[in-house]
């Protein structure tokens, strides 16, 4: 039974890591978009999208590390993601970020719906996952709105 629980906990960490990696992609794409924007648009992007994604990314990493440490599982670091080619332009970067945010949220929903956090997890893990989801809650809509206003 202990082996099954340890394996389930590791699988849970691996699933959470996939969501974190997607948030890393979103951060990289938003950073690249920021660099290509004028100051006013860049400030709006930073406030409305980059900071919330950065907060979610940090919270997800802390949740991952704390859970691993509590159960003696290996922790990991997450390498910065690539934003992709500059030829994508701001709109391409924003679309990439939106897709990565959506994918991360989908992965987190699937993880929560699997009941694995309840079965092998703990209250702190569930709270961390909920907090990350709350941070991501309206970011897809914000990103779409930002893209729709881009170029006006």
**Span 68-108, pLDDT tens digits:** 999 999 999 999 999 888 888 999 999 999 999 999 999 99
Query: What SS3 state is found at 41?
Result: helix
Q: How far is CA 71 from CA 2, 12, 19, 63, in A?
A: 12, 12, 20, 13
Query: What SS3 state is found at 114?
Result: coil
Tokens coding 152: 């006006």
- Give the pLDDT confidence score for residue 106 in this predicted structure: 96
- Give the pLDDT confidence score for residue 3 in this predicted structure: 54
Tokens coding 61: 């990493």
pTM: 0.92
């Amino acid at each position: 039974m202990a082996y099954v629980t340890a394996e389930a906990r590791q699988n849970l960490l691996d699933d959470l890591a996939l969501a974190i990696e997607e948030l890393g992609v979103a951060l990289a794409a938003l950073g690249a978009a920021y660099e290509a924007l004028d100051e006013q648009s860049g400030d709006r992007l930073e406030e409305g999208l980059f900071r919330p994604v950065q907060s979610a990314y940090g919270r997800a990493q802390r949740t991952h590390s704390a859970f691993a440490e509590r159960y003696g599982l290996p922790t990991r670091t997450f390498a910065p993601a690539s934003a992709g080619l500059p030829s994508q332009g701001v709109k391409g970067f924003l679309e990439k970020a939106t897709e990565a945010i959506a994918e991360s949220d989908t992965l987190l929903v699937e993880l929560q719906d699997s009941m694995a956090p309840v079965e092998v997890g703990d209250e702190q893990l569930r709270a961390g996952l909920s907090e990350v989801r709350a941070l991501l809650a309206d970011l897809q809509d914000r990103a779409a709105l930002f893209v729709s206003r881009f170029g006006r």
